[in-house]
Structure 1
Amino acid sequence: MGTGLEIDGIGKTFGDTRVLSEVGFRVPTGRIVGFVGNNGAGKSTTMRIVLGLTALDEGEVRYDGRPIGVPVRKRIGYMPEERGLYPRMRVLEQLSYLGRLSGHGRTEATAAAGRWVERLGLEKLAGARLSELSLGNQQRVQLAAALLHDPWLLILDEPFSGLDPSAVGVMSDVLREQAALGRPVLFSSHQLDLVERLCDQVVIISGGRIVADGTVAALRDGAPVRHRVVADGLAPGWTHGLPGVSELAWQDGGCLVASAGGQEQQILAAAQSIGPVREFTPVRPDLTELYRDVVNSDDADRD
Structure 2
Amino acid sequence: MLRQAQHERVHEGFAVEAVDLVKEFGETRAVDGVSLAVPSGSIFGLLGPNGAGKTTTLRILLGIIDPSSGTRRVLGHERPLEAAREVGYLPEERGLYPSMHARDAIAFVGALRGLPLREGRRRADELLEEHGLGEWARRPIRNLSKGMAQTVQLLGTIIHGPRLIVLDEPFSGLDAINQARLEELIRRQAREGATIIFSTHVIAHAERLCERIAIIAQGRVAFEGSVDEARGRLRPIVRLRTRSQDGSWRSAIPAAARLHNGEWVFELPEGGPEPLLKALIDGEAGIETLAIERPGLHDAFVAIAGDAAAEAMGHQEPSE
TM-score class, shorter-chain normalisation, is 0.7 to 0.9
Deviation at residue 146 of structure 1 after TM alignment: 0.5
Q: 1:252 to 1:122 in 2, by over 3 A?
A: farther
1:172 lines up with 2:150 in the alignment: no
Determine the structure 2 residue equivalent to 1:295: 305
**Is residue 19 from structure 1 mapped to residue 27 from structure 2 by the alignment?**
no
Cα deviation code 1:174-212 (max 9, x no counterpart): 222221222210011233223212221122111111112
Structure 1 counterpart of 2:144: 133
* Cα distance in structure 1, aligned partners of 2:48 and 2:170: 15
User: Where do 1:208-287 residues align within 5 Å?
Assistant: 208-230=219-241, 245=256, 252-258=261-267, 261=270, 279=289, 281-287=291-297
Deviation at 1:116, TM superposition (A): 2.2
Matched with 1:95 is: 106
Q: Distance in 1 between matches of 2:55 and 2:269?
A: 34
Does structure 1 retain, via aligned residues, the 8 Å contact 2:227–2:297? yes
CA contact (8 A) 1:5 1:184 kept: no
8 Å Cα contact 1:29-1:179 kept in structure 2: no
What is aligned with 2:17? 6
**Structure 1 CA distance, aligned partners of 2:137 and 2:182?**
18
Letter in 2 for 1:291: F
Compared CA separation, residues 233 and 205, structure 1 to 2 (3 A): farther
**TM-score scaled by length of structure 2:** 0.78
Instruction: Classify the secondary structure of the residue corresponding to 1:109.
Output: helix
CA offset at residue 156 of structure 1?
0.2
Task: Supply the distance in 1 between the matched residues of 2:42 and 2:272 (Cα, whole angstroms).
Answer: 37
Detail structure 1 runs of 4+ shifted over 6 Å in the superposition. Answer: 263-266
Worse-superposed segment, 153-162 or 280-289: 280-289
Aligned pair partner of 1:153 in 143, 160, 164: 164
Q: Tell me the distance in 1 between the aligned counterparts of 2:56 and 2:134.
A: 35
**Any unmatched runs of 5+ in structure 1?**
none
Distance apart, 1:53 and its partner CA: 1.9
Separation of aligned partners in 2, 1:76 and 1:260 = 47
Please name the residue that 1:110 is paired with: 121
Contact 1:99–1:113 (8 Å) recurs in 2: no
Q: Give the distance between the partners of 1:180 and 1:154, measured in 2 at CA.
A: 13
> CA shift at 1:251, angstroms?
5.2
Residue segments in structure 2 that go unaligned for 5+ positions in a row = 1-10, 310-320
Amino acid at match of 2:115: H
Moved more, 45-54 or 221-230: 221-230
Note if contact 1:211-1:298 (Cα within 8 Å) is conserved in structure 2.
Answer: no
Across the aligned residues of Structure 1 and Structure 2, the Cα RMSD in angstroms comes to: 3.2
Whether the 8 Å CA contact 1:36–1:190 is kept in 2: the answer is yes
Aligned residue identity for 1:101? L
1:86 paired residue number? 97
Cα distance, 1:215 vs structure 2: 2.0
**Contact 1:9–1:23 at 8 Å: present in 2 too?**
yes
User: Is the 8 Å Cα contact of residues 101 and 141 (structure 2) preserved in structure 1?
Assistant: yes
Q: Which amino acid aligns with 1:61?
A: R
Mark the CA change 1:10 to 1:291 in structure 2 (over 3 Å): closer, same or farther. Answer: same
Q: Secondary structure at the match of 1:217?
A: helix
Q: 1:14 to 1:284 in 2, by over 3 A?
A: same
User: For the residues of structure 1 that align with 2:98 and 2:257, how far apart are their CA atoms?
Assistant: 52
Distance in 2 of aligned mates of 1:57 and 1:283: 44
The total of aligned residue pairs comes to 291
TM-score, normalised on structure 1? 0.82
Given that 2:18 and 2:73 are in contact with CA atoms closer than 8 Å, whether structure 1 keeps it comes out as yes
Other-structure match for 2:53: 42
Q: 1:73 aligns with which of 80, 84, 93?
A: 84
CA separation in 2, counterparts of 1:189 and 1:98? Answer: 23
- What's 1:54 paired with? 65
- Which AA in structure 1 matches 2:262? G
